[in-house]
């Protein structure tokens, strides 16, 4: 875990708790976990995605994708990134006595504490009641001659921040009525969560707002691979806005962390190939083999079959078959 989060984990059970495991919550979870945050996603409740018959406008699925496969892919991605997914319904989120953290109480499990909480449940914000004035968090509408109270979709700012420190709202929001929009908003809010945690650790706004993406090592030319040049690059881009002197411990610690992130984002051609293969295998594991066979040219598919691997897999399964146990 990076320096930014080490101090947080000493006093709280987790760095981030995300309430809701749909596109918004899983997207936020992937970004937070990849940053190194100890991230838990609670997922049990009414999901708007699960009410869809078929998802046809999510980029990257030209033939659409069934909801079961999409849910499996999202949760697999979140867990691979480092999230823990808990199948439990959150009943309440309260601030701790010192107002520095939150106590999250699920329906079945034990209460846990977290430094930051991200709300990502489209249909229900009731568990946040009491964190702020009800008149601020909830709004009343008249429908069918009766008044109904709902969480205010405009309570949070565009980046998910709220009047309650370290409480972020991805959804309910006015703009999350499509899965792909909700996922994008989850990523945007997670970036704010990350930036705020870095600021808590001494970073300043201009340098805290980093992104999570990989670059080819070929782009790390001689100039940027030289430490002296990297230090000069940081000082030129961020030094003028720094709230502390360049020779201070805080400035140098932040500079080292930012430079380290920049260098580590560059990966080699071999690593690119390895990640590409792993990514496609992970995707294929969620697909029906019958559909894979239909989609791929038979001759090309047969060329990829490794007889030795098939025999090895059969040997691995022999004890199970002989004992009458199947996976």
pLDDT value for 221 = 60
DSSP of 110-149, one letter per residue? --EEEEEEEEE-SS--GGGTTSS-HHHHEEEEEETTEEEE
pLDDT value for 325 = 47
β 84-86/112-120 pair status: unpaired
Per DSSP, the three-state class of 305 is coil
Instruction: Please state, in angstroms and rounded to a whole number, the distance separating the CA atoms of residues 31 and 325.
Output: 39
Pick from 164, 155, 151, 268: which is nearest to 219 by CA?
Answer: 268
Ranges under pLDDT 70 in the chain: 1-10, 45-47, 174-176, 220-225, 306-327
pLDDT value for 53 = 87
111 touches 104 (CB < 8 A): yes
DSSP of 13-55, one letter per residue? SEEEEEE--SHHHHHHHHHHHHTT--EEEE--S--TGGG-S-B
DSSP state of 99: S
20 touches 46 (CB < 8 A): no
What tokens does 267 get? 């990966």
pLDDT value for 309 = 63
Please give the model's pTM, rounded to 2 decimal places. 0.85
Pick from 51, 3, 2: which is nearest to 23 by CA?
Answer: 51
Residue 272 Cα distances to 148, 260, 269, angstroms? 52, 19, 5
pLDDT value for 90 = 95
Per DSSP, the three-state class of 8 is helix
pLDDT value for 7 = 44
Q: Which helix or strand (DSSP H or E) is residue 79 part of?
A: helix 67-81
Instruction: Please state, in angstroms and rounded to a whole number, the distance separating the CA atoms of residues 230 and 263.
Output: 9
> Could you give the domains of the chain?
3-200 (3.50.50.60)
β-bridge partners, 215: 266
Residue owning tokens 């690119």: 272
Helix, strand counts (H, E) of the chain? 13, 11
């Amino acid at each position: 875990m990076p320096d930014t989060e080490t101090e947080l984990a000493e006093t709280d059970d987790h760095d981030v708790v995300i309430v809701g495991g749909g596109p918004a919550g899983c997207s936020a979870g992937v970004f937070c976990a990849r940053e190194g945050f100890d991230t838990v996603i609670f997922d049990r409740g009414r999901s708007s995605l699960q009410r869809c018959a078929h998802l046809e406008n999510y980029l990257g699925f030209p033939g659409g994708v069934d909801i079961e496969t999409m849910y499996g892919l999202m949760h697999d991605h979140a867990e691979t990134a480092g999230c823990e997914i808990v199948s439990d319904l959150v009943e309440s989120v309260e601030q701790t006595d010192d107002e520095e953290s939150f106590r999250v109480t699920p329906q079945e499990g034990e209460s846990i504490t977290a430094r930051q909480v991200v709300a990502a449940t489209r249909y229900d914000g009731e568990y946040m009641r009491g964190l702020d004035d009800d008149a601020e968090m909830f709004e009343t509408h008249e429908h069918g001659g009766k008044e109904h109270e709902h969480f205010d979709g405009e309570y949070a700012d565009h980046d998910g921040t709220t009047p309650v420190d370290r409480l972020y709202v991805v959804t309910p929001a006015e703009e999350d009525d499509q899965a792909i929009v909700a996922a994008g908003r989850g990523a945007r809010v997670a970036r704010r969560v990350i930036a705020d945690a870095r600021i808590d650790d001494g970073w300043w706004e201009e340098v805290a707002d980093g992104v999570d993406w990989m670059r080819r090592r070929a782009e790390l030319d001689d100039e940027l691979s030289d430490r002296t040049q990297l230090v000069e690059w940081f000082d030129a881009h961020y030094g003028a806005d720094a709230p502390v002197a360049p020779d201070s411990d805080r400035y140098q610690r932040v500079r080292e962390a930012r430079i380290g992130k920049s260098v580590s984002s560059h990966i080699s051609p071999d690593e690119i190939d390895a990640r590409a293969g792993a990514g496609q295998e992970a995707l294929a594991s969620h697909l029906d083999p019958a559909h894979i066979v239909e989609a791929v040219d038979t001759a090309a598919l047969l060329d990829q079959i490794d007889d030795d691997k098939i025999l090895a897999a059969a040997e691995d399964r022999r004890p199970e078959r002989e004992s009458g146990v199947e996976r």
